[in-house]
Structure 1
Amino acid sequence: MQLHTTTWGEGDRVALLIHGIMADHRTWRRVGPALAELGYRVLAVDLRGHGASGRAGSYTPQDYADDVIETLPAGAQLAVGHSLGGLTLSLAVRQLAPQRAVYADPAWYLPDGASGFRPQWFTRAKSFTRERIEEMNPRWEAEDVEIELDSVRLWDEATSYGLMDVAGTDLLPAKPFVPSLVTLADPSSLVSRERAELLRERGFEVRSVAGAGHTIHRDDFEGFMASLEDWI
């Protein structure tokens, strides 16, 4: 599927941004312009079932990866994926072949079992009020809250059911195919300390942004950008 894309900047270097579940390109509203100021042409997608991209009958991680491979240019200087976008990037990284990859709190493991992953975690967000989003994300700016309300409204909740088949599956990459940074929330609910250490052993650089929640770039934009300083 050809995805909707948004561009910031006209630099000689190219950066790719891939958002997480329920979001769209607007989650990068500060990151995209910041990278453009550093000389990048920044391309951000809306994944299938999100934002202005098409809806589909299948929402597997490989579907997302195939879409970004079809839509985005290979050989970019930088690629960044958050959460589901991090999983997507890891499945597409060999074909996209960026010079550097950044995985922001990537969804490489969703627990299963009685207390594990349930699509209802996400589908109930359709009914969240502005006040509920503010309560859950006290560090977000007002514009991010408004974007969240609208992006969830546009989001196809069937995407959450596409993750059921990988719940309980360890999708941690065996190795980085390009120089790779993993930037984590503090604490991360998706990458435990043990998994973070395993990633280091496999050749990934791993950093945390102190006190930041899962959507690091919204919780602490300055901290997120600082964590990328020698990668961008």
Structure 2
Amino acid sequence: MRLHTHTWGEGDRLALLVHGMMADHRTWRRVGPALADRGYRVIAVDLRGHGASGRGEYTPALYADDLVETLPTGAELALGHSLGALSLSLAVGRLKPRRAVFSDPAWYLAGPAEGMAPEALARFKAAPKEQIRAMNPRWDEADVDIERETLAVWDETTALGLAPLLGSDLMPAAPVVPSLVQLADPSFLIDGERAALLGARGFEVRSVPGAGHTIHRDDFDGFMASLEGWL
């Protein structure tokens, strides 16, 4: 599936951005321009079932195939968040960026007994603005508004597509290209043991102190500082 994309900048270097579940390219409203200011042409996708992209079946393999069909190969930088990081990790060998950043990647999804219920995620589509603000007290008001807008155009059945993955360990055995794993503090997806294992497998692992899951919205300055040496 060819995905809807949004572009910032006209630089000589290319950066690719892949959002997480429930979001779309608008989640990168500050990151895209910041990278453009650093000389990048930035392309952000809307994953299938999100934003202005098409609907269909929802599996990590299909998300990855869509990225390969839509995005150019050989980018300077590819960055994915959460579900987008999982999708990027399955596509990175074909996209062949020079560097990859996986921001709080969805490489381990806890089972229902540990609080991960796809049906509850799907119901979040109807979350009122006050609930979003209360859950994300560090977000700018603009990001709270964008979250409501992206939820309105999100196909919530994408959440149900996570059910077969619950309890599965989806961490890559090794980085395909030089790769940074950027973690929330604490991360509910990658705990300390898994972070250490990723380091042993050859990933660089950094945490952004005090940041929640959507690091680039929760602490934009910390997010950008964590990318030092990778931009």
Residue matched to 1:6: 6
Residue matched to 1:152: 151
In 1: Cα distance, 2:112 partner to 2:158 partner: 20
Residue matched to 1:54: 54
Residue matched to 2:222: 223
**What SS class does the counterpart of residue 61 from structure 2 fall into?**
helix
Q: 2:39 is aligned with what amino acid?
A: G
Residue matched to 1:172: 171
Which digits, 9 at most, give the CA deviation of each residue in 1:26-46, with x for residues without a partner?
000000000000000000000
8 Å CA contact 1:110–1:116 kept in 2: the answer is no
In 1: Cα distance, 2:29 partner to 2:125 partner: 22
In 1: Cα distance, 2:162 partner to 2:146 partner: 24
Residue matched to 1:184: 183
Which digits, 9 at most, give the CA deviation of each residue in 1:112-164, with x for residues without a partner?
24334211231121221111111000000011000000101100001011111
CA RMSD of aligned residues (A): 0.8
**What SS class does the counterpart of residue 211 from structure 1 fall into?**
coil
TM-score w.r.t. structure 1 length? 0.98
> In the alignment, is residue 208 of structure 1 matched against residue 207 of structure 2?
yes
> In the alignment, is residue 40 of structure 1 matched against residue 40 of structure 2?
yes
8 Å CA contact 2:122–2:160 kept in 1: the answer is no
8 Å CA contact 1:32–1:42 kept in 2: the answer is yes
Runs of 4+ in 1 over 4 A off after TM superposition: none
8 Å CA contact 2:8–2:33 kept in 1: the answer is yes
Residue matched to 1:126: 125
Residue matched to 1:101: 100
In 2: Cα distance, 1:220 partner to 1:115 partner: 27
**What SS class does the counterpart of residue 73 from structure 1 fall into?**
coil
**What SS class does the counterpart of residue 113 from structure 2 fall into?**
coil
Unaligned runs of 5+ in 1: none
In 2: Cα distance, 1:225 partner to 1:115 partner: 31
In 2: Cα distance, 1:230 partner to 1:112 partner: 36
Shift of 1:166: 1.2
How many residue pairs get aligned? The number is: 231
In 2: Cα distance, 1:221 partner to 1:67 partner: 28
In 2: Cα distance, 1:194 partner to 1:115 partner: 17
TM-score w.r.t. structure 2 length? 0.98
Residue matched to 2:24: 24
